[in-house]
Amino acid sequence: MAGAKEWKTQDDDSILDEFCNICATVTIGLESLCAIECEQKLACSVTPGRGRIYFTIPRKRLREIQHLRSVENLFVVVEDIADFKLSVQENVEMILQRLYHLPEQLNLKPAFDIWKEYKDLCTGGKTKALQHIEISASESSTGENITNEVTLPRFRVTCTRNHSNSDLKHAFTSMQAAAKFGGGINDTYGWTVDLEDYDIDILLNIVDNHVVVGISLTEKSLFRRNIVNFGPTTLKSTLAYCMALAAEICEGDVICDPLCGGGSIPIECAKEWPCSFNIAGDNFHMAPKRTQDNVDFVNKQCYSMTTKQIKVDNLQWDATCLPLKTDAIDVFISDLPFGKKNGSMKKNWQLYPDLLKEMARVCRTKTGRAVLLTKDKKAMARAYGQSVKYWRKKYTYWINIGGLQAAIYLLQRTSIPIH
Ligand SMILES: C[S@@+](CC[C@H](N)C(=O)[O-])C[C@H]1O[C@@H](n2cnc3c(N)ncnc32)[C@H](O)[C@@H]1O
């Protein structure tokens, strides 16, 4: 796996000093899609990993990472260890001990300096409180001995974990890993743990046996943006964005989420593709209010930032009998009931074929498309088989959401009309 380690082998230190290695956590299976966003927005080359992407960006352009929407956490890489041996076959106590000793081998200083620089950039140089924070009492940014003015950072460790299959499952919890690793930082560097009022969030990102340690640049994970009224199956905004990206939205496209829940998909589309028109609905009586609350929340933010308000037309409806004309929609983007928290596998057996047929009626022939997320692959295969005349499968992203194996299907409407 190509990652941060590769960059470290470059020997021109002066060039390296002008750049920084950034890693972003992403949904497993969507790395290539997230890389496209990153390459387009930051004009840099991206190396996809598993559940992560890596890129190098000039330090002076670091602020531009704030434009990314498909990624969850962004951090400056401290260390990238491809084979830390963390799977269920290993002894848990030994693993936790190795995590405790890991900080002794780390050089936090370069990443720490970039983190400080980034905070400064984001606040326009107003983070005076940061000026005296140093990695150790003997350090000062000017190299002078100002030991008495130096404050060591208060920190916390956030551990994010994922595994590809049951053989690579971890037998320890994220809390255990964070506590051990944090204990090691505390003992090695003398920094104080403060879970609430911390200066630095150290990220311990574990995918299978691969550990990346970094200093977080995002204050909180980006997946909860835009949503205040959550439902039981609210989709991550980052995933909603990825689905919209996969739909290749064009100027003037009419986009519809016929099973919108709290509206995470239409909100993301309306906000990030202001050139589109968004219609959404759900058959659950609380869904329209939930969506409206979330739209209002986004518009309040737009108001305070003097950016354009978003608009989502939002109704209560049955997605298998839409109050829309034939050929009215360019793109359907939807997160279907998985049949676990919402609906049932038995209901999906009927719902999915009816839905694909109704979407085929309303979707523009030839140019229309649908991007559909589900975990119920059997019901989807059956529904697709029944409407293969109307839809052509273009691509499937196999993804992992919180340990569940799901799929995002990209369907293209054929030219055959429905009578
Ligand atoms: C997985 S959830 C969607 C969650 C949504 N993306 C969000 O972020 O809140 C599926 C939704 O389908 C809705 N649903 C199920 N059957 C429906 C039908 N026949 N017509 C319209 N909505 C339906 C459920 O009420 C539920 O809100």
Q: How many CA atoms lie within 13 A of 333 on its CB side?
A: 29
Q: What is 3-32 written as a DSSP string?
A: -HHHHHT---HHHHHHEEEEEEE--BT-HH
Which residue CA neighbors atom 16 of ligand 1 most closely? 283
Place of tokens 């200093």: 215
Residue 325 in this model has a pLDDT that exceeds 50: yes
| Contact (CB, 8 A) for 170 and 163 | yes
| Contact (CB, 8 A) for 178 and 157 | yes
CA 337 – CA 321 distance, rounded (Å):
17
Q: Cβ(320) to ligand 1 under 6 A?
A: yes
Atom of ligand 1 nearest to the CA of 262: 9
User: Among candidates 130, 138, 139, 137, which has minimal Cα distance to 110?
Assistant: 139
The residues, ordered by sequence, that sit 6+ positions from 132 with a Cβ below 8 Å of its Cβ are 149, 150, 151
* Span from the CA of 387 to the centroid of ligand 1 (angstroms): 21
pLDDT tens, position by position, 231-290: 999 999 999 999 999 999 999 999 999 999 999 999 999 999 999 999 999 999 999 999
Q: Cβ(284) to ligand 1 under 6 A?
A: yes
The residues, ordered by sequence, that sit 6+ positions from 9 with a Cβ below 8 Å of its Cβ are none
| Predicted local confidence at residue 347, as pLDDT | 92
Task: Give the rounded distance of the alpha carbon of 153 from its chain centre.
Answer: 27
Coil, strand or helix: which one is 401?
A: strand
Q: What percent of the chain has pLDDT over 90?
A: 74
Place of tokens 């720490």: 112
Label residue 127 by pLDDT band (50, 70, 90): low
| Predicted local confidence at residue 16, as pLDDT | 54
- Reading the block at residue 91, the tokens are 């002894």
Q: Cβ(102) to ligand 1 under 6 A?
A: no
- Reading the block at residue 213, the tokens are 């340690």
Structural domains in the chain, CATH included, are: 4-222 (3.30.2130.30), 225-413 (3.40.50.150)
* Span from the CA of 282 to the centroid of ligand 1 (angstroms): 6
Q: What percent of the chain has pLDDT over 70?
A: 92
Q: Cβ(209) to ligand 1 under 6 A?
A: no
Place of tokens 């986009």: 255
* Span from the CA of 261 to the centroid of ligand 1 (angstroms): 5
Q: Cβ(266) to ligand 1 under 6 A?
A: no
Dihedral sign of CA atoms 206, 235, 392, 375 in order: positive
* Span from the CA of 388 to the centroid of ligand 1 (angstroms): 23
pLDDT tens, position by position, 179-216: 999 999 999 999 999 999 999 999 999 988 999 999 99
* Span from the CA of 219 to the centroid of ligand 1 (angstroms): 30
Which residue CA neighbors atom 5 of ligand 1 most closely? 261
Other residues' Cβ atoms within 10 Å of the Cβ of residue 61: 14
pLDDT tens, position by position, 82-96: 999 888 777 899 999
Which residue CA neighbors atom 14 of ligand 1 most closely? 259
Question: Probe ligand 1: pick from 342, 348, 352, max atoms within 8 Å of CB?
Answer: 342
CA 288 – CA 317 distance, rounded (Å):
10
Q: Cβ(264) to ligand 1 under 6 A?
A: yes
Q: Cβ(319) to ligand 1 under 6 A?
A: yes
Which residue CA neighbors atom 11 of ligand 1 most closely? 259
